[in-house]
Amino acid sequence: MRVVVTGAAGQLGRDLVDVLSGREPMGGCGGASGGAVLAGVAWPRGASPGRGLEVLGTDLPELDLTDRAAVRAYIETVRPDAVVHAAAWTAVDDCEGDPDRAFAANALATRHVVEAAGRMGAHVVYISTDYVFDGTSPRPYLEWDPPRPMSVYGRSKHAGELEVGDRGTVVRTSWVCGFHGANMVKTVLRLAGSPGPLRFVGDQHGSPTFTADLAPAIARLVAERRPGVFHLTNSGATTWFGFAQAVLAAAGHDAARVEPIATADLDPPRPAPRPASSVLDNAAWRLSGLPALADWNDALGRLVAALGVAGPGVAGPGVAGVSAGTGRGAAGPGANRVPGRGDEPTASAVKEGI
C-alpha cells in the first residue's frame, strides 16, 4: 500500500508521515503511535505502518498543488492507494486580503488532488477546519450541521470540502498544535519568559487538538477508507484564555499570569473573523464505535514534555514588555507585541491556530 501526504512539511503533515511510517510522533501516547485509536485496524494488502506501507510526503516548492498538470503527473507517477491532503494556505488573516490565492491553494488545489487521485482509484482524505462554521451554535457542531464560514479562509476550505464531495473523506479539526511548526503552545511557552501579564481571548471556545493524536486517527480513516465527513478533535473544550493558562501550568509556570480579554478588545482587531464557539462533536467517529481522542489537557502535557525547554520554536529570549492579546491566529502577533524577533511569527506568517 502506498500513501501520499500533501503538506508534508507542515505541522500535521510531519506527524502524519511519522505515524504512517510506524514512527512514534513527538508527544504521542505510545504504542508505536496511536495506541487504542489504531488498535485492531485491518490495513489493506497486509501492509501497515512500518511494515510495507510506503509513505511519500510532498510540499512546496517540490510540488505546487495549484498546478493541475504537475499534480496529475506526480500522482500518475507515484500511483498511490490513498492521498491525505493536508496542504493548505493556513495564514487565516492573510487569506482575507488575498481571496484568489486562498481559493487557489485551498479549493482549486483540492480539485486537482481529487481529480488526479480519482484517475488512479486512490482514496482522498481532505483535512478541513472548524472555520467552516459561524460559531453561533449553542451546542457542539455535528458533521451534518450546515457550514456557514465567516472568513475567506473558512470559505476556501469549505470550497475544498465541496471538491471532495462524496468521493472521499473530509476530516474537520480545530486549534491544531504539534511538535513541528508554529502554534499556540509554542507561542505561550515563548511568551512565558516575558514579564507582566499575558492576555488571551476568553470569549472564543474550541477544542485544542494535537497532531500526535490526530494523525493516528486520520491514519485509521485512511486504512479503512471510511467515506464522509468526520469531526476529529481531542476531547474537551476551552477558550484561548483557558488554553494559555493550561500551557503555563503544564510547563510549571504561574497560570495566574494569564488574563482574559474579549475579542472586541483586540487592538488592532484581527482581519479575519473567528467563530465564537466552534466545538466539534466527533459524532460520526463516536457513533461508528471508534475510541475518542484523549482529553486535550492530557495531550497538552505530552507535547509540553516533548518540547521541553528547547523544542523547535520554543527556546529563545523572552519578549520584553509584551502583552499578547490573542485569538485564534492572533496569539503571536497580539495587540501589543514587539515586532522584529527572528523566531516570532510575523503578521504575514500567522497561521491557523496560533
- For ligand NAP, the binding residues (CB under 6 A) are 7, 9-13, 59-60, 63-66, 86-90, 105, 109, 127, 129, 157, 173-176, 181, 351-353
CB of 264: closest distance to ligand NAP in angstroms? 22
- List, edge to edge, every strand of the sheet that includes 82-85: 54-58, 2-6, 82-85, 123-129, 169-173, 228-231
Q: Decide whether 130 or 194 has the Cβ nearer to ligand NAP.
A: 130
Q: Decide whether 48 or 187 has the Cβ nearer to ligand NAP.
A: 187
Q: Report yes or no: 80 and 117 within 8 Å, Cβ to Cβ.
A: yes
CB of 259: closest distance to ligand NAP in angstroms? 23
Q: Name all contacts of 161-167 with Cβ < 8 Å and 24+ positions apart.
A: 161/126, 161/128, 161/132, 161/229, 162/107, 163/107, 163/110, 163/111, 163/114, 163/126, 164/110, 164/114, 164/124, 164/126, 165/114, 166/227, 166/228, 167/114, 167/118, 167/124
Q: Decide whether 65 or 261 has the Cβ nearer to ligand NAP.
A: 65
How far is it, in rounded angstroms, from Cα 76 to Cα 74? 6
Q: Decide whether 49 or 154 has the Cβ nearer to ligand NAP.
A: 154
Q: Which residues contact 331 (CB under 8 A, 6 or more apart)?
A: 184, 187, 188, 200, 240, 244, 324, 354
Q: Give the other-Cβ count within 10 Å of 76's Cβ.
A: 11
The three cell numbers of residue 43 are: 490495513
Q: Decide whether 254 or 343 has the Cβ nearer to ligand NAP.
A: 343
Q: Among residues 116, 103, 127, which one has the least CA distance to residue 71?
A: 116
DSSP 23: P
The one catalytic residue in 74, 131, 141, 153 is: 153
CB of 163: closest distance to ligand NAP in angstroms? 13
Q: Decide whether 48 or 314 has the Cβ nearer to ligand NAP.
A: 314
Question: How close are the terminal C-alpha atoms of the chain, in Å?
Answer: 35
CB of 50: closest distance to ligand NAP in angstroms? 22
Residue type, 224: E
CB of 162: closest distance to ligand NAP in angstroms? 15
CB of 86: closest distance to ligand NAP in angstroms? 4
Length of the chain: 354
| 339 phi and psi angles, rounded to 5 deg | -80, 165
How far is it, in rounded angstroms, from Cα 233 to Cα 174? 6
Please say if 131 is a catalytic residue: no
Report the catalytic residues.
153
